[in-house]
Each structure stands twice: as C-alpha cells, then as structure tokens.
Amino acid sequence: MGFMPTISRDEVAHLARLARLDLREDELDHYAEQLDIILASVARVAEVAAADVPATSHPIPLTNVMRADVARVWLTAEEALSGAPASDGRRFRVPRILDEE
Amino acid sequence: MQQHLTRLSAADIAAAISDGDVSATEVTRAHLDRIAEVDERVHAFLHIDDEGALATAAAVDAKRKAGEPLGPLAGVPLALKDVMTMRGIPTTCGSRILEGWRPPYDSTVVERLRAADVVILGKTNMDEFAMGSSTEHSAYGPSHNPWDLDRIPGGSGGGSAAAIAAFEAPLAIGTDTGGSIRQPAAVTGTVGVKPTYGGVSRFGLVALASSLDQAGPCARTVEDAALLHAAIAGHDPRDSTSLTDPVPAVVEAARRGDVRGLRVGLVKELSGEGYQAGVTQRFNEAVDILTELGAEVVEVSCPHFDYALAAYYLILPAEASSNLARFDGMRFGLRAGDTGELGVEEVMSLTREAGFGAEVKRRIMIGTYALSSGYYDAYYGQAQKVRTLIQRDFAAAFEQADVLISPTAPTTAFRIGEKVDDPIAMYLNDVATIPVNLAGNCAMSLPIGLAPEDGLPVGLQIMAPARADERLYNAGAALEAALRDRWGHLLIEEAPAL
C-alpha cells in the first residue's frame, strides 16, 4: 500500500496543545507513529468523487427545534456543585485565569 | 429456584411476579446472588446498587399487594451501561476522569425505567467514553466473555452484553455509536438493538458523538428487547434531536414474527474478504432459513459502504474531541496539578493527561486534526459528503428490500490483548455496523449459531429504514423462532456454566 507520512511529531505536539493534553515525550513518539497510520487510512474518503454532493451533519433532518421559554426547577446550587473538584459553596473554584501569557 | 430465576426471560419474570408466583424481591436477590457468584470472573459491573435495587423490588411487591396494576417489566432486573446518568449512583463512563462522580440527575432513560418499575442492579463496564470494541479501553480493566473468559465480550458495551450472557441480568441498556450494542450482542450470543436515531432520548447519556449516539436494549430474546425498547423510547423535549413520531409497534412485531413475502436484501459489500469462514457459513445458513420461512431474498449493492469506516473515523473523533472538551477539571470529576501556582490551562492539560486513557487521547487528537483549518474540507467536510452517499445507498437498497442483512461482526470474539494496541485492527470490528449509525436508521443483532472453527457465537444483523424499527423485531422474531425449533433452546443456553 502506498504509504505517505501525513503527520510529524511536532504536529502531534501542536495538536496535543490545542486539545489541552499534556502528553509525555514517549507518548508523542508513540502517537506520531499511530496517528500517521490512522490518518493515512481515513484519507481514503478523498477517493470518493463528491464535489456536487451536499454534506450531512445530522442523520435525521430536524430544523429549529424550539421549546417554550418557561422557567422550571432544575438543579440547586448545591446539587450543581456536588461533583466539583473545588467550590466555595456558592461557586466553582478554579485555578487563576488571568496573568497568563 | 434461585438459580432458575436468573435463567428466565424478562417477559416470564414479569408474568411470574404479576401472577404472584414469585416476588420481585426474590427475583432481585437471585440476580444479586448470581452477580456475587460470577462477576469476579466476568467483571461485567463497575458498581452494584444492592440497596436501590432491593428498594425498587420492595416497592413493586407492595404495589402488587395493594392490587395496583403492574407494567410489562415491573420487577425485572436490568444492568445499566455506565455512560447513562443515574442520580446519586457513580457514573464513570469507564474513565478515571469521572471516578467517584455521582450525577445529581437521572437520564431520561433511567427516569422511564423507574416509571416502568424496572429494578436497576448497577452500572456496567465499557470502553472509556464508549471508544472501543472490546472493553479493554476501560480504565477499570476489561470485562470477560462468558463463552470463554480469555476473550473479549465486545465493546464498547461489553459489560452490558456480558451481564446478560452470564445470566446476571435478563436486560441491559447499551448505547450504539458505531456498533457498541450490536457487536457485543454478536460475540456473546445475545440480542441487541440500535433504534432509529432520535428514537430514544439522549438526555443524560454522556455524549461521545452526538450525531451518531443512540441508546437501546440488550436482552437474550427478541421479545425481551422489544419490551425494553418500548419502555425507553418516545419523544423527550429535553433532547432537541428526539423524534416526535409515535414509538414503532415493536412488541407486536416481536410477537408476530412472520417473514412471508418480506423482501430481504443481502448487502454485497458486507461479506466476503475479511469475514471469518465460520461467520460466513452460519450467515449463509440463516439466509436459507429465511428463504424457507417465505422471505424473498435479493442481493443489493451499497458501493459507498466501502468508505463508511474511513468517514466514521473522521466524523466520530471530530465530534468526540468537541464533546470531551467539557472534561476540563473545573465542574466535575478529576482535577490534577492544582497546586496553587499553575494557571487554568496548565491544570486542564494536566487533568486531561492524567484522566484520559490512550484510546481517548488518540481520538481527541485525530478529531482535533480533522477539524483544524487547512484540513477541515479534505477530511471532515469530505467525510460528511460520504455520509450523504451512504444514506443514498441505503435509500436505493430499501427500494428493493424491506430489510437488509449482513453478519454483525466480521469475526467471533477475539482474545483479550490481541488487538489492544493496533487501532486499525480494532476499528475493523465495526465495519458492518457503522453504516447504520452514519445514516441514522435502525438495526438489530441476533445470535445465529456457533462458528465451527472456534465454537463461539455468530451474530446476524438486520437493518431497517429510519422509523421502521418494528421490521427488525418482526424479522428477528421469525428467525429466532426457527432457530429455536431447530436447536430446542436458545443459543445462550449452550454457554458454558461459570
């Protein structure tokens, strides 16, 4: 099979950054090899002549599904925070979000 | 009596409870005992809710005593795939990132099961976030196939299928994004149905790929699957993709089982090379049986199915990479590296690195790649066009046939460890099941015998158009009855004692 490298180790590192995955060095090597093979395999979709074919993003066409804008009881603050790694009882507590590059 | 209760169908259990021959509590205890006896070896369950199950059973018994009417599944035990939220009960999706999370709400499926007085025994094992065909990608270790404990029970819903095949529960809920209900059913000798997309609410189903995900029933008989299907299906305003159509008459169809004059299409592209000899042999025998029963068998061609796997492994990772962005260590689940010095993005990256397993990271990166500028049109855009062509192939085939059939999976259950680090080999398990998810229509897998070369179950897939789920149950029931006549029992009764 004509095998064409499609992704480099640097590109994998870039993807990992975009996807917020702090990959280890050995993972970068491993994934570079595997993603190359997977992407070469899925690139087959390009063989299909489909220039004039519309795209399908959703299997059953439904448009503008709306519901009435009615307030209802849902989770309490306590319930919503029940699975949080950190909270102050009223809000989610998160690491600092400012002063970053 | 205790052992016997775990061998009954859901329909028979419900009848026995309603008739007062046995209490729901006795039925539940028998299944909890069975789990205690065999699950150390099968590992179908990640969490057992004895207390909740017995409380539901007691409520059913009280209802009966009070003379209140009982529904068709009242008191029947069920195993729930761990991708479905259930208030207060751990929901991990087979991932470390959700270890210990107890959702504060019920999924719609769980709400409907509660309304039907179904006894939920616990949560079943799965490949992490439903990515896989073997349960080997579960962070909590694989489940084992009751037919041969060294083999996979399929995936991602291998825990649900194994629980049923091991007689730990007569019913289970699965979810099917590319075959995760049907392939486990095939390799465990059980029945599994992927309903029409939108037929069962996705509210409370932790999303893998939102345009493909669909929950459905797992059972040991076609009738049981239909009863469960009817209990969980129907419009839900909390899922904007939920169909508003009435639920197809699946129970009636399962009780009819008549294929005389039914046009059955053999899909040319889902056969031949890559299919194990014994799978093909059993499949051909089943085709002969359908002909004997009066079905009209024709061959159909769906040329773009050859590209379904490639399109799927672009569309699924693209949607998954977006859906899994919610696991950021801020609102629920794991948080790693939050020492007070690091910023939010570093904490997110450390959390996701620590919380996700290898297959999840692989697919997130493929999806990120497919959606990145410069590649979007060539990969994701083109895959969506292939999706249209696959829908057109189905539409043309359904002009010639009422249902289509194929083997469910190309092989019987493989050995644990055999394909775990070979993603392409693993992905090929889903070659016959994926087209249905891409098109949004419905399909069933049911057992048709054991492959002569390895003595393991083979599944046959029936596919029907969107909103025509009843056709699956009609054809499936006919084939099941004919095979049962031939064997004198269900295939699952040949499974080795555990």
pLDDT digits (tens, 9 = 90+) for B83-118: 999 999 999 999 999 999 999 999 999 999 999 999
- The whole-number pLDDT of residue B373 equals 83
| Mean pLDDT calculated for residue range A23-44 | 93
Nearest partner of B307 among B415, B422, B391, B408, judged by Cα? B391
Lowest mean pLDDT among B77-91, B102-116, B399-413, B417-431: B417-431
Told to judge if B65 belongs to the known catalytic residues of this protein, a careful annotator would answer no
Closest in B313, B345, B389 to A20, CB measured: B345
Please, which pLDDT band fits residue B2 given cuts at 50, 70 and 90? low
Q: State the catalytic residue, choosing from B95, B134, B143, B156.
A: B156
Omega cis (within 30) before B156: yes
Whether A72 has its CB under 8 Å from any CB of chain B: the answer is no
A70: contact with B, CB 8 A cutoff: no
- The alpha carbon of residue B377 and the mean position of all alpha carbons in its chain are separated, in whole angstroms, by 32
Q: Is the pLDDT of residue B304 over 60?
A: yes
Question: What is d(CA B227, CA B157) in angstroms, rounded to the nearest whole number?
Answer: 20
The Cα B416–Cα A90 span in angstroms is: 46
User: Concatenated DSSP letters for B81-125?
Assistant: ETTB-BTTB---TT-GGGTT---SS--HHHHHHHHTT-EEEEEE-
What is the per-residue pLDDT across A55-94, written as a single tens digit (0 to 9) for each?
999 998 888 888 888 998 889 999 999 999 999 989 999 9
Q: Around A83, how many Cα atoms within 13 Å sit in the side-chain half-sphere?
A: 26
Residue B144 has pLDDT above 60, yes or no: yes
B358-371 and A25-42 are packed helices; what angle lies between their axes, rounded to 10 degrees? 60
- Closest partner residue to B364 (CB to CB) among A21, A54, A56 is A21
> Which residue out of B9, B23, B81, B419 is catalytically annotated?
B81
Query: Quick one: average pLDDT of B334-353?
Result: 95
Check pLDDT > 80 for residue B197: yes
B372 contacts in chain A (CB < 8 Å): 15, 18
ipTM of the complex model: 0.92
User: What CA–CA distance (Å, rounded) separates A63 from A50?
Assistant: 24
pLDDT tens-digit readout, B440-478:
999 999 999 999 999 999 999 999 999 999 999 999 999
Mean pLDDT for the stretch of residues B434-439: 98
Nearest residue on chain A to B104, alpha-carbon basis: A79
Contact B313 A38 (CB under 8 A): yes
Confidence of residue A98 (pLDDT cuts 50, 70, 90): confident
Mean pLDDT of chain A: 88
- What secondary structure letter does DSSP report for B219? E
Q: Specify the pLDDT at position A1.
A: 38
Q: What is the pLDDT of residue A63?
A: 80
Please determine, for residue B240, whether its predicted confidence score (pLDDT) is greater than 70: yes
Return the pLDDT at A66.
85
pLDDT, one tens digit per residue, over B315-332 is: 999 999 999 999 999 999
Q: Which of A18, A41, A55 shows the shortest C-beta gap to B368? A: A18
- Could you tell me the pLDDT band of residue B3, with boundaries at 50, 70 and 90? low
Q: Which residues 6+ apart lie within 8 Å of A29 measured at CB? A: A9
Q: What is the mean pLDDT of residues A17-25?
A: 96
Answer yes or no: is pLDDT of A99 > 80. no
pLDDT at residue B305 greater than cutoff 80: yes
Active site residue B81: yes
**In chain A, where are the structural domains located?**
9-48
The whole-angstrom distance between B310's CA and the closest CA on chain A is: 4
Q: If you average pLDDT over residues B21-39, what whole number do you get?
A: 98
DSSP assignment letter at B211: T
**Annotated catalytic, B419?**
no
Average pLDDT over residues B175-195: 98
Please judge whether B365 and A44 are an interchain contact, meaning their C-beta atoms are less than 8 angstroms apart. no
CA dihedral B461, B462, B468, B474 (to 10 degrees): -120
The band of B262, judged by pLDDT with boundaries at 50, 70 and 90, is: very high
A37 touches chain B (CB under 8 A): yes
Among B316, B314, B137, residue whose Cα is nearest residue B213: B316
The pLDDT score that the predictor gives to residue B425 is 86
Q: Tell whether A45 lies on the interface with B, counting CB pairs under 8 A.
A: yes
A36 reaches B (C-beta below 8 A): no
> Is pLDDT above 70 for A42?
yes
User: If you classify domain A9-48 with CATH, what class do you get?
Assistant: mainly alpha
The two tokens of residue B187 are: 């390799």
Residues of A (12-31) whose Cβ lies below 8 Å from B: 12, 15-24, 27, 31
B101: which chain A residues are within 8 Å (Cβ-Cβ)?
Answer: 83
pLDDT at residue B448, as a whole number: 98
Nearest to A45 among B240, B311, B345 (CB): B311
Per this entry, what is the length of chain B?
A: 498
Average pLDDT score, chain B: 97
Chain A partners within 8 Å of B311 (Cβ): 42, 45
